Amino acid sequence: MQKKLVPWDSSKYLGTEEDIAAYLAACSETDDPAAIVLALGSIARARNMSALARQIDMTREGLYKALSPSGNPSFTTVIKVASALGYPLTFRVKAKVPEAKPTTAKAAPSVSPDAIENGIRALALLDETVAKASELRESLLRFTAAHSRTGRPAGTKRPRRRDDAGPKSPRESA
């Protein structure tokens, strides 16, 4: 039996400011610029894309395009959108991870069964999240291919046909 996947839209689940702040914080921790841009797009859709576009002097269509998965917004656009949404871009120094010191063979530290159980639950949740993200990516690729103008995945060209080859040589016309 084939599973039916529905497109995921995070903006439907961003009802409160706490949800929005947590979502943006989680996306910014990935260190992936595309995730941050997609998060800003979801937040903009959850609020009001048209009002936001007017506020930052862009067209609504241009803003949708810039914040879409295939968009490539300028850094200026990202800063304007984040600031207009109330989340100005800030930089902070990452905490340094202390270097691991070589240890001698010692008895294993005791770990409570609750800590082990919590770790196992966290790993199971992580596995679920990765599986859902994979399904979402595949669904998004299928959706994009199905709803694009050409019906082909973005970035692919249509095959050349014989009549597209340009002017015929004198030999071919004879």
CATH code assigned at 78? 1.10.260
pLDDT given for residue 62 in this prediction: 92
Structural domain contains residue 41:
yes
**Predicted pLDDT of residue 29:** 83
Q: Is residue 148, in this structure, part of any structural domain at all? A: no
Residue 80 falls inside a structural domain: yes
Say if 138 falls within a structural domain: no
CA 152 to chain CA centroid, nearest Å: 21
Parent domain of 24? 7-92
pLDDT per residue as tens digits for the range 115-143: 777 777 777 777 788 778 878 777 777 77
Instruction: Tell me the average pLDDT of the chain.
Output: 78
- The pLDDT of residue 106 is 64
Residue 14, in any domain of the structure:
yes
> Residue 111: which of 102, 120, 98 has the closest Cα?
120
> Quick check: 21 and 151 in contact, CB under 8 A?
no
Residue 103 DSSP symbol: -
Do the domain assignments include residue 81? yes
65 occurs within a structural domain = yes
DSSP 168: P
CB 31 within 8 A of CB 63: no
Place of tokens 């599973």: 3
User: What's the structural domain count of the chain?
Assistant: 1
Q: For tokens 């080859």, what's the residue?
A: 165
